[in-house]
Amino acid sequence: MRYFDSHAHYYDRRFAEECSMGVDQLISTLLSDSVSYIINVATSLENAMEAVAQAKRYANMYTALGVHPSDTRFIDREMSGYLCELEAQILSSENKCVALGEIGLDYHYEDTDKLTQAKWFEAQMALAEKLSLPVVIHDREAHGDCLEMIKNFPKVRGVLHSFSGSTQMAEELIMRGYVISFSGTLTFTNAKKPKEVARNIPLSHIMIETDAPYLAPHPFRGRLNHSGYLEYTNRTLAELHNISEEECCNITNENARRFFSL
């Protein structure tokens, strides 16, 4: 079985610091063993270059480039110039950039102004529409406002990563052509709500991800996460849909390939 990791951050410093075999060796091993593709997701221009450079070293690693809502507070440049540079990065990635992200809203921490987040989210939705790229959306405790933004861009399609909303929200998103992605949080013993959502929505609109180095699945919760742990999320999803792990792996793999046009 080969799992498609639809969301990971392999340029994150934690890999360099905590991975004993080295991050390059780790990625090579994963891609020749149990992982079909990895989408290496950037969170700002600062790590976009690293994300692309890393992706260029592996045939089956691609990137999503964009500004994460929590990173908007560090930007002291004008938005238009910053986004011009982002667009240039995307266009010069030699087809390695397959989505715009991660973008969205994060209301969990109170250190980033909501209006600033919304301005960046909106501008990047417009950029995705212009470039005909799907979006990777980060939505933490901002479900209503995220949905409103999505409704304002009916031509854009995307994925809600590490989904934490309700079944009703997921259904609304699916109706709009969106896909739902579940991370290791689906396997947590107290993950009643995500499990209920994952069970209630069609498998045809579900992808799996690690969000590595974060969100390692049960029983590795809190440890350094990597794409090799996707089997745990896949197993939970297969159980919820009463199908074999292999079938679940094949379906989520095909869903992600279709979503990222790979």
- Which C-beta is closer to Zn ion: that of 106 or that of 211? 211
Instruction: Kindly state the tokens that stand for 131.
Output: 């470039």
Q: In Å, how far are 52, 71, 198, 244 from 89, measured between CA atoms?
A: 9, 18, 35, 40
Instruction: Tell me which amino acid residue 89 is.
Output: Q
Does residue number 209 form part of the binding site for Zn ion (CB under 5 A)? no
Smallest gap, in angstroms, from Cβ of residue 9 to Zn ion? 6
- Which C-beta is closer to Zn ion: that of 47 or that of 238? 47
- Measure the CA–CA gap between 125 and 153, rounded to whole angstroms: 7
Which H or E run contains 187? none
Smallest gap, in angstroms, from Cβ of residue 78 to Zn ion? 26
Residue of closest CB approach to Zn ion: 211
Smallest gap, in angstroms, from Cβ of residue 209 to Zn ion? 8
Which of 30-38, 104-112, 203-211, 236-244 is the region at the interface with Zn ion (rule: CB under 5 A)?
203-211
Single out the residue of 5, 12, 106, 211 in contact with Zn ion (rule: CB under 5 A). Answer: 211
- 89 Cβ contact list (under 8 Å, min separation 6): 45, 48, 49, 52, 65, 97
Which of 12-20, 194-202, 209-217, 249-257 is the region at the interface with Zn ion (rule: CB under 5 A)?
209-217
Which of 31-39, 104-112, 178-186, 204-212 is the region at the interface with Zn ion (rule: CB under 5 A)?
204-212
- Which C-beta is closer to Zn ion: that of 43 or that of 255? 43
Q: In Å, how far are 55, 74, 154, 191 from 96, measured between CA atoms?
A: 7, 26, 25, 34
Q: Applying CB under 5 A, what is the total number of residues that bind Zn ion? A: 1
- Which C-beta is closer to Zn ion: that of 139 or that of 211? 211
Which H or E run contains 7? strand 3-8
Smallest Cα–Cα separation from 150: which of 158, 141, 138?
Answer: 158
Which stretches of the chain bind Zn ion, using CB under 5 A?
Answer: 211
